Structure 1
Amino acid sequence: MKQEYQDLVLQACGASSLRVGATIQSLWSGYGQIVRLHLQGCDRPSVVVKHVKFPDGAEHPGGCNTDRSHARKVRSYHVETHWYQNYSTNQSCRIPECLAASSHGDEMLIVLEDLDVAGYDQRRASVTDRELRTCLRWLANFHALFLGVAPEGLWPVGTYWHLDTRPDELEAVEDARLKAAAGDIDRVLSECRFKTVVHGDAKLANFCFSTAGQDVAAVDFQYVGGGCGMKDVVYFLGSCMEEKQCEKRVPALLDHYFTELKSCVKRDVDFAALETEWREMFAFAWTDFHRFLLGWMPGHWKVNRYSKHLTEEVLHKLKHM
């Protein structure tokens, strides 16, 4: 790590020295890495640094290595930096504190609180029902906090699969009916009355759990932006459950999400209207992501019978709208 970056971390944390620790993970398509830095001489034993370095030639696992793809990624890191520097949440939808950020040419650095030290040191490849509901509570609190908030400096429409940012994937969709309806599905979602800020990549891997699984914090805000809260909900549920589980468990989990949402929205919100609209948007949001998958990786395990059923439901609704 460059000395200027080390100096930034030392100054931001009031530390006397640092040691570069383990790499937590590499960033998508070789765009850098996330590392833990161990500190001396301050009250923080460690911080997590997201170090972005734009490559000369990235190789996308899905084969979509284009100038458009690169521009989208570059913008995503600028959006994430803006998010951490200008937005904050609360304990009910915990995120890491941003301690410093810097950008120099083709490199960016975001210095974040180490959530492991804060008590969120558990990661899950699969979840219990309790942990799943804990994440839905986080999403409900997050959506309630930003309900009606304009996504200034963020993506106008959040999520990494948003139609306007994914023309290559749309072109690759072989389902002619869904391909033709993609614009209408996006329009229905975009014209919903109740909008919030969505995480945009709310998969299970981006949640950090407390030891007992009672509390959770979220990371990775590259695709945070405006939109309907159902986009986060459907993406999260789809990251946790296979088709048979979705068929069996989604209704009760949706009820739980809306119960949590009702408990934390402001009193002047017409919650009955909000719930009615967002329940209607559930199938549209699920189909919107299904559309992306069919163009990006049609053999993905999430392309399943449950997704196809919801897509048929949406296509039928569009005929009568």
Structure 2
Amino acid sequence: MKKQLGDQHNAVSKEPIQSLWSGYGELFRVYTDNPALPSLIVKAIDLPKVAPKHHPKGWNTELSNQRKLKSYQVEFHWYQHYVARMPIGWAPRCLAAESHGSHYELLLEDLKLVECARVVKTPSNQEIETALRWLAQFHAFWLGTETTGLWQQGTYWHLATRPDEWQAMTSSRYKSAAERIDDILNDCRYQTLVHGDAKLANFCFNETGTQVSAVDFQYVGGGVGVKDVALFLCTVLDFDDPQLSIDSHVETYFEALQAALARYQPNVDASDVCHEWRKLLGLAWADYQRFLLGWSPVHVRVNAFTNKLTLEALDDFLL
């Protein structure tokens, strides 16, 4: 740590936060003796040469291993070259980044120091809306950005990296329409950077739920913003609620997107972006459902509500 941050920082102790997926490394908090930086987060990544033997869903193939290896390299590049370009507070600042062979190490801002490190399992409506506004600002800020060093197509479920899951699907409209869904989403003239894994657990809130930062950028890359919206809503909705509706959440996102585009992309027709992406929300959701139906068809995110929403989208596009 001294090498990256200088002699004024001495590590006093460290505490583990969690192991990374399939034993690819660990995340831990380091406490220092410097009051200017009393703690920081270290993400230490050791990339294996062969696929791990265990996977919770059985997908321990060489392709899945290569996808995971690339995801850590993408995140490393993201923190090195992209994070500092965003407004402060949207994500942890990168304090240092080093790599040696298959070992990567990121030293990141500890969100506890800015009182924005609270992870929630059952979100309030305030927290849902705050995260949707974060997504809207993120998508507006990066609209039209080249994906240099990132995934050309963001998200962990896009079709090109999931042929095994597609093959495992039973015959269905989702399976037969998979390529067309992918093409339509990729052909939209308004592409941005998507977070790529915008689940609730990757958002850290302040105590009141009015501010949020995002973490875990392993699948950041190109795409339409509603891909993130679909995944996020899948992780916060109560699918057992007979009165469930996403309308107010969708309006929150698009109202925030319209305002953020006016701020960050004044030369872009904000209304047209919103119009195009609004049409694609159901299809983006169907794209995610396609992945789930191959990966884990009994997943809680595959249900009557998502079936109805996504099949209506397939009808709209004659798929």
Shift of 1:315: 2.7
CA distance 1:62–1:100, change in 2 (3 Å): same
- List alignment gaps of at least 5 residues for structure 2: none
Equivalent residue number for residue 85 of structure 1: 80
Equivalent residue for 2:181, pick from 185, 189, 193: 185
Q: Note if 1:33 corresponds to 2:26.
A: yes
Q: Note if 1:241 corresponds to 2:237.
A: yes
| Partner Cα distance (1:247, 1:110) in 2 | 44
- What is the CA deviation profile of residues 226-282 of structure 1, one whole-angstrom value per residue up to 9, with x for unaligned ones? 110000111111111132559633111111111111111123221221111111100
CA distance 1:13–1:201, change in 2 (3 Å): farther
Deviant stretches of 4+, over 4 Å: 244-247
Equivalent residue number for residue 68 of structure 1: 63
TM-score (norm 2): 0.93
Q: Note if 1:201 corresponds to 2:197.
A: yes
Higher alpha-carbon deviation: 271-280 or 306-315: 306-315
Q: Note if 1:118 corresponds to 2:114.
A: yes
Equivalent residue number for residue 15 of structure 1: 8
| Partner Cα distance (1:247, 1:52) in 2 | 44
Alignment identity in percent?
44
CA contact (8 A) 1:14 1:41 kept: no
Shift of 1:17: 1.5
CA distance 1:110–1:316, change in 2 (3 Å): same
2:231 is paired with a residue whose SS is helix
Alpha carbon RMSD of aligned pairs, Å?
1.7
| Partner Cα distance (2:250, 2:6) in 1 | 41
CA contact (8 A) 1:192 1:277 kept: yes
Equivalent residue number for residue 160 of structure 1: 156
TM-score (norm 1): 0.93
Equivalent residue number for residue 263 of structure 1: 259
Q: What one-letter code is carried by the residue in structure 2 that aligns with 1:95?
A: A
CA contact (8 A) 1:159 1:198 kept: yes
Equivalent residue number for residue 300 of structure 2: 301
CA contact (8 A) 2:258 2:271 kept: no
- What is the CA deviation profile of residues 72-97 of structure 1, one whole-angstrom value per residue up to 9, with x for unaligned ones? 11111111111111113114x61011
Shift of 1:16: 3.7
| Partner Cα distance (2:242, 2:282) in 1 | 13
Equivalent residue number for residue 217 of structure 1: 213
| Partner Cα distance (1:246, 1:290) in 2 | 20
CA contact (8 A) 1:230 1:285 kept: yes
CA contact (8 A) 2:2 2:8 kept: no
Higher alpha-carbon deviation: 35-44 or 16-25: 16-25
Equivalent residue for 2:145, pick from 134, 145, 149: 149
Equivalent residue number for residue 287 of structure 2: 288
| Partner Cα distance (2:199, 2:242) in 1 | 15
Equivalent residue number for residue 138 of structure 1: 134
| Partner Cα distance (1:212, 1:192) in 2 | 37
Shift of 1:135: 0.4
Higher alpha-carbon deviation: 207-216 or 258-267: 258-267
CA contact (8 A) 2:2 2:9 kept: no
- List alignment gaps of at least 5 residues for structure 1: 1-5
| Partner Cα distance (1:232, 1:218) in 2 | 12
| Partner Cα distance (1:244, 1:276) in 2 | 30
| Partner Cα distance (1:247, 1:83) in 2 | 40
Shift of 1:20: 4.0
CA contact (8 A) 2:238 2:244 kept: no
Q: What one-letter code is carried by the residue in structure 1 that aligns with 2:47?
A: F
| Partner Cα distance (1:226, 1:125) in 2 | 28
CA contact (8 A) 1:29 1:61 kept: no
- What is the CA deviation profile of residues 95-131 of structure 1, one whole-angstrom value per residue up to 9, with x for unaligned ones? 0111111112222111101011111121101110011
